[in-house]
Amino acid sequence: MKKILNNIVIYCMAAGVLTSCDKKLDIEPEGSPVTGNFWKTQADAISGSNALYEQFDGEEFYGRGFMWYINASDDMVTGRSNAKADNVKNFNSATSGVSYLTDQWKMRYIVIKRANDIILHVPGIEMDGALKSRILGEAYFLRGLMYFQLSYNYGNENAGVPIVTEANSSSTAAVARAASVSENYALVESDFKTAANLLPYFDTYKAEDYGRAHKTAAWAYLSKMYLYTKSWPNAEKYADSVIKSGKHALLGKFGDVFTIANNWTKEYIWSALSTPKGTGGWGSILPGVMLENKGWGKYNGWGYYTPTKELYDAYENGDQRREVTILKPGDAFRFFGKDTVYGSANSLSGYQFRKYMEPFSYANPISTYISPNGDHPTTALNPPLLRYAEVLLIKAEAELMQGKNADAEINAIRNRAGLTNITGATLAELKKQRRCEFAGEWADRHRDLVRWGDAQTAYAQPLHGYNGAIIWPARTFNPAVHNVWPVPSTEISNSGGVIKQSTGW
């Protein structure tokens, strides 16, 4: 993946997109290369594929912005005072103008534009056939993934998100929202299937290409998309494609998942590639965002997304995931090479997520394990976006929704957590396992509650901190409105009103 990072800048310079990456999106996805002198050679195709990943370094991509949506769940609270973020948590109408959220829409359409360029131009380049297939597969995978993330956050039966493909990507006209999110999901389905056909398995990559799209990642996300569209047989089918590939397995210990040494083990399917190297690091800043504000004087932690007592209490006695996931007052941990006892001077809940703390455990970690720039606190740990454990629970949910038995998949997750087998697992057990397994991760507890129809009831309850005090009051969640997030107001303005706001926002 080092090669990708090195060549991103080369692509931007050759294609003339360095300035366009910072402009407002309007509705036309940006980052289009100058075609007159580009898309001629194999080297151009490689540079174009590398540039697909350039936006992943954005603070709001897989760092802070996107996580504000997940922060709406009952698992976490903002952590420290932030009026803009509170609007999101409380489903206030001002959410559409929150600056943290505007860039992530724009950045995803930049990736879509670059994918469209590859799909349009690379087929005509004379080059190695296997490499051409991989590059096209990467483009279809990342276009599908971007549309999937945009669709489940902003789309419903009333309106989807604007569809821009290679067929209309050169147009300068604003594109209206799809009539329904089902149109978006049809494109996502097609893109993931095409990507899976074109891409190699991950284990065929050399280390320098780790982090590129691969076959089982396409199958896994296709399975998750079918879960969201309630196409249970297909969700089961493509989860099985991953499982039966023999390429993946659970690690023996839950805590081992969140270690730098295991970034690329068999539990890996898709992660937010990150590195502390360079003057400011690259990739996801989530570990630093979740770190204690000001890092006990050692590092510029941001103090956001702190666990709730509701999450802590959701774990059964003996569940080994709880202590791996959450730090509570009095817990021992290692920080900057020293044994430390956890306590917070500013956490709203009194807790902190522990999953991403390993990079901060080493003596003198700066530049080796954590970014030298505390304002862009990336680490050597790749936060997982979708891992094999989720594929197992996707299959389990799909089985349960078809009236089938899902004990095998659920017990695999329970056993790894140190829990005993159960028989006749129910949907309630599935929901608990998803919550306890993926707390603080991109599996998205908020979106789970919305798609299960549980959000209104869950959010009508206040949230509590370590000492039992209410730290977040009950909230009003209207399923007819808040089942999607509002389109950023900047996109409506930039489109000249062609894009309409989501109903009720």
List, for residues 400-412, the tens digit of each pLDDT value. Answer: 999 999 999 999 9
Each residue's pLDDT tens digit, 268-284: 999 999 999 999 999 99
**DSSP conformation letters of 422-450:** -SS--HHHHHHHHHHHHTTSTT-HHHHHH
Quick one: angle between helices 2-15 and 42-51, nearest 10? Answer: 110
- Does 141 map to a domain? yes
Same domain, 141 and 41: yes
- pLDDT (average), residues 459-479: 98
- Beta-bridge mates of residue 77: 306
Domain end call among 360, 381, 402: 381
User: Which has the closest alpha carbon to 78: 482, 472, 476, 473?
Assistant: 472
- Beta-bridge mates of residue 472: 463
Same domain, 207 and 62: yes
* Distance separating alpha carbons of residues 199 and 457, to the nearest angstrom: 42
Phi, psi of 107 (to 5 degrees): -65, -35
Contact 223, 242 (CB under 8 A): yes
Each residue's pLDDT tens digit, 165-214: 999 988 989 999 999 999 999 999 999 999 999 999 999 999 999 999 99
- pLDDT (average), residues 87-102: 92
> Per the structure block, which two tokens stand in for 495?
């489109």
What single DSSP character describes residue 177? B
Supply the range of the domain harboring residue 326: 286-381
- State the Cα angle at 89 between 86 and 93, rounded to 5°: 80
- Does 456 map to a domain? no
Phi-psi map region of 295: left, alpha, beta (phi>0 left; psi -120 to 50 alpha): left
- Does 237 map to a domain? no
Same domain, 305 and 191: no
- Does 194 map to a domain? yes
Domain end call among 381, 412, 430: 381
* Distance separating alpha carbons of residues 87 and 66, to the nearest angstrom: 14
Residue 4, pLDDT score: 57
Same domain, 200 and 291: no
Residue 9, pLDDT score: 41
Same domain, 109 and 23: yes
Residue 27, pLDDT score: 31
Q: Say which residue the tokens 């956890």 belong to.
A: 342
pLDDT at 391 over 90: yes
Same domain, 207 and 296: no
Please tell me the total count of domains within the chain.
2
Same domain, 29 and 145: yes
Sequence-separated (6 or more) residues with CB below 8 Å from residue 310: 74, 75, 461, 463, 464
- Does 240 map to a domain? no
Each residue's pLDDT tens digit, 301-358: 999 999 999 999 999 999 999 999 999 999 999 999 999 999 999 999 999 999 999 9
* Distance separating alpha carbons of residues 130 and 135, to the nearest angstrom: 9
Same domain, 196 and 307: no
**DSSP conformation letters of 8-34:** HHHHHHHHT-TTGGGS---SS------
Q: Measured in whole angstroms, how far is the alpha carbon of residue 207 from the centre of its chain?
A: 22
Q: pLDDT confidence of 2, banded at 50, 70, 90?
A: low
pLDDT at 215 over 70: yes
Question: What is the chain's mean pLDDT, rounded?
Answer: 93
Phi-psi map region of 101: left, alpha, beta (phi>0 left; psi -120 to 50 alpha): alpha
| Alpha-carbon torsion (210, 216, 218, 224), positive or negative | negative
- Does 100 map to a domain? yes
Q: pLDDT confidence of 28, banded at 50, 70, 90?
A: very low
Residue 134, pLDDT score: 98
- Does 454 map to a domain? no
Residue 493 CA: distances (Å) to CA of 108, 177, 207, 496: 18, 14, 44, 5
Each residue's pLDDT tens digit, 38-66: 999 999 999 999 999 999 999 999 998 88
- pLDDT (average), residues 239-248: 98
* Distance separating alpha carbons of residues 156 and 112, to the nearest angstrom: 20
Same domain, 187 and 59: yes
Sequence-separated (6 or more) residues with CB below 8 Å from residue 316: 419
Each residue's pLDDT tens digit, 403-458: 999 999 999 999 999 999 999 999 999 999 999 999 999 999 999 999 999 999 99
What single DSSP character describes residue 4? H
Residue 1, pLDDT score: 54
> Per the structure block, which two tokens stand in for 102?
């505007």
Same domain, 33 and 129: yes
- Does 254 map to a domain? no
Residue 8, pLDDT score: 52
Domain end call among 336, 355, 381: 381
Each residue's pLDDT tens digit, 106-153: 999 999 999 999 999 999 999 999 999 999 999 999 999 999 999 999
- pLDDT (average), residues 8-12: 45
Residue 35, pLDDT score: 58
Residue 159, pLDDT score: 98
Q: pLDDT confidence of 31, banded at 50, 70, 90?
A: very low
Residue 37, pLDDT score: 84
Give me the percent of the chain exceeding a pLDDT of 70: 93
pLDDT at 462 over 50: yes
Same domain, 45 and 175: yes
Q: Measured in whole angstroms, how far is the alpha carbon of residue 449 from the centre of its chain?
A: 17
Phi, psi of 271 (to 5 degrees): -135, 165
Residue 384, number of CB atoms within 10 A of its CB: 23
Q: For position 44, which CATH number holds?
A: 1.25.40.390
